[in-house]
Structure 1
């Protein structure tokens, strides 16, 4: 009887030792199995991520900002060519069909990267799609900039860079958790969308300059808040965080926030020298 008990005890100890000395490291899903999911349809996009795995989060942030820097350099180069080079500017103005083609590419790639998790996480298709998305949106931004005065474009680039830098630093330092107010941002988006539709119908018949400026100011405020929201999701030390596997989606969100902030600043401070195209 005693020997059987000892054998059972030793067997249990051996099994627990084997489990403790498992040669396979835990996966990310196993390591974060106690986290709460926000959106069940895409379970790994947003999670309540604890700050336990600091190295994973640090590598994730570094990867996102590295890709984002390359995107912004590509966009800045295309905007500079469209603004300073007269030949490129004349080609853009004489071929508006390229704008609508780039808009279609932008919409398709944005839909795939936002709604389809497999292409967004599968290398190298995720980077290829992100590169095509960046080129299409950069061309649209460059065409928009070509209808404004050169000094206005440079001024808005400087203002955008300053605002984005300050918002990013504030997101890293502040204790205010904007990820708790995603419902407020969603309502703000709906209001801006409906207001944009109304302005598109009203302005061509009875143009009121202050309406355009007011809409641009509200749009700049909205996407500045979204930049702070996405940056805090990227950090992961607030109430809600983004999964470290979603570096492409995180880069996509922050990049779009910056581009839209620039476009709204261009509407506010820019001096038009021709009929503009709305992104």
Structure 2
């Protein structure tokens, strides 16, 4: 999850220092616009890259015959994500934060392109529409609801750990015993989990809940929202995609 801090209640003599970041409505609005603008650009890049194999046969052939590049892309993504998550100076410094974000976006885009290239274009389009509708609905719900979903982070984390173990069992069962229904169950549960993560991240961006994100960490929360949506698409494609 993106970095966040607990928001204490009002104290006598004024608001506490920790909530100064979000006391100004214009600062909050600018922070929200910046995050969602970057997420939109990143998703647009991934969408364009994912379409390329279906409009250019040579790209389709290349991606299918060079699966090792998926591992390179994943390693690149993992290294950049760890750097941004652990190095505060990098993610808060311009232009290093945007350069790292661009590299991360391209690596995720290539992985998504390779995943889409082994699926039927109709199923890819259907999963894209389902993802767009679900994520749009979740974002609107998280922005309008009075329920503080950020207070449930602990429960969501526990469920994530349980699902991680179940996912490993499902993958092993599919690879060695050809039992596919466990992986389908895992994909469905994982899609729901990341939908909930998306709602929590949106509320932390909006502020006012138990936990909220500092405006200085807009890069990290942008990447988190972006990854929530990408993982939802990947899981839905695993669930409904036809290879």
Structure 2 residue 136 is matched with structure 1 residue 153: no
The verdict on how the C-alpha distance between 1:195 and 1:237 changes in structure 2, with shifts beyond 3 A counting, is: same
Contact 1:178-1:229 at 8 Å conserved across structures: yes
Q: Which structure is larger by alpha-carbon Rg, 1 or 2?
A: 1
CA distance, structure 2, for counterparts of residue 260 and residue 74 of structure 1: 16
Superposed CA deviations along residues 214-258 of structure 1, whole A, max 9, x for unmatched, are 001100000000000100001012221100111101100000000
Contact 1:49-1:236 at 8 Å conserved across structures: no
2:9 maps to none
2:17 maps to 34
1:249 maps to 220
2:5 maps to none
CA distance, structure 1, for counterparts of residue 117 and residue 20 of structure 2: 43
Deviation at 1:49, TM superposition (A): 6.5
Q: List aligned pairs for 1:56-95, cutoff 5 A.
A: 56-95=27-66
1:5 maps to none
TM-score, scaled relative to structure 1? 0.79
Larger relative contact order (Cα-Cα within 8 Å, sequence gap ≥ 6): 2
Given candidates 68, 80, 85, the residue that maps to 1:114 is 85
Given candidates 201, 220, 227, the residue that maps to 2:172 is 201
CA distance, structure 1, for counterparts of residue 225 and residue 20 of structure 2: 19
CA distance, structure 2, for counterparts of residue 271 and residue 260 of structure 1: 18
Contact 1:49-1:243 at 8 Å conserved across structures: no
Contact 2:21-2:214 at 8 Å conserved across structures: no
What is the total number of aligned residue pairs between the two structures?
230
Given candidates 97, 113, 122, the residue that maps to 1:142 is 113
Contact 1:50-1:237 at 8 Å conserved across structures: no
1:230 maps to 201
Deviation at 1:51, TM superposition (A): 4.8
Equivalent position SS for 2:215? coil
Q: Which runs of 5+ in 2 are unaligned?
A: 1-13
1:103 maps to 74
Q: Which runs of 5+ in 1 are unaligned?
A: 1-30, 36-47, 273-279
Given candidates 186, 190, 210, the residue that maps to 1:219 is 190
